[in-house]
Structure 1
Amino acid sequence: MSFYVELIISILLVIGGVFLLVGSIGLARLPDIFMRLHGPTKATTLGITGVLLASLVYQSINQGSFSVSELLITLFLLITAPVAANMIAKTALHRENPAIPRTAGQSLVERIRNRDAADSD
């Protein structure tokens, strides 16, 4: 394998690792569920994308043909992560999980809860 291919793979792995680390720290450190959604859905999705792209380059070079499986996994994760975050946020609203006072958009949360209560009546 040439130096440039190894450099590209290494850069993708480091970038992916940094995003995964930041997302994991965000998940552990942020105070409420509405803020915690950003860690696993944004940073870790970018992190795993970097790792999978590095795997795609490595496998494509070793096999001599384009590796489709890593690309499909990456696309699946990029499509499903926002949907999962939306469902988690809806569940938190439905269960009336409290947000900390400094969370932005408190009036929107109350308006959504009141709208959902009016719809169910």
Structure 2
Amino acid sequence: MTGTWIDLVINIIIILFLVIGAFITLSASIGIIRFPDIYTRLHAATKASTLGVAFILIGAFIYLYAKEGIISGKLLIGIIFIMITAPVSAHMIGRAAHHSGIKPITKNRTDAYEEAIQERN
């Protein structure tokens, strides 16, 4: 056996982060295809894929630190960038869809944003 048990544990942690991230990203991709309207597709596209990409980048960060001794600031900045930009872009796309008149496909729909606009006017 060439490595120690600590190397084995680190490898298992890296594999878990990568596999969980890949699974979450795959489920986000399936959600984008399967969900019926723009609002639920945005939910799948931003929340799940943001978490999946973050897990993959954390796994890569641990790998680089444990195996190469490199602390990659680019990976950390990438995680922060994805965590900030994906929710903001989803909010803007959802708001643009609402302003365009696209209604959600649900049986019992309540539109709190529309009600707030009507109360203001």
TM-score normalised per structure 1: 0.84
Using structure 2 for the length normalisation, give the TM-score: 0.84
Call closer, same or farther: CA 1:109–1:8 in 2, change over 3 Å. same
- Once the two structures are superposed, the pairs formed by residues 99-110 of structure 1 within 5 Å of their partners are 99-102=104-107, 104-105=109-110, 107-108=111-112, 110=114
2:15 matched residue in structure 1: 10
Q: Which runs of 4+ in 1 moved over 4 A?
A: 112-116
Once the two structures are superposed, the pairs formed by residues 45-56 of structure 1 within 5 Å of their partners are: 45-56=50-61
Name the Cα RMSD after superposition.
2.1
Residue 45 of structure 2 corresponds to: 40
Structure 1: give runs of 5+ residues left out of the alignment. Answer: none
Please say if residues 16 and 51 of structure 1, whose CA atoms lie closer than 8 Å, have aligned partners that are also in contact.
yes
Structure 2: runs of 5+ lacking an equivalent: none
**Which residue in the other structure is 2:103 paired with?**
98
Q: Hey, what's the Cα distance between the residues in 2 that align with 1:65 and 1:13?
A: 18
**2:87 corresponding residue in structure 1:** 82
The residue aligned with 2:115 is 111
Amino acid across the alignment from 1:31:
P
Matched residue count = 116
Distance 1:104 1:26, change over 3 A: farther
SS class of match (2:9): helix
CA distance in 2, matches of 1:40, 1:13: 19
Distance of aligned partners of 1:32 and 1:41 in 2 relative to their CA distance in 1, 3 Å threshold? same
Identity %: 35
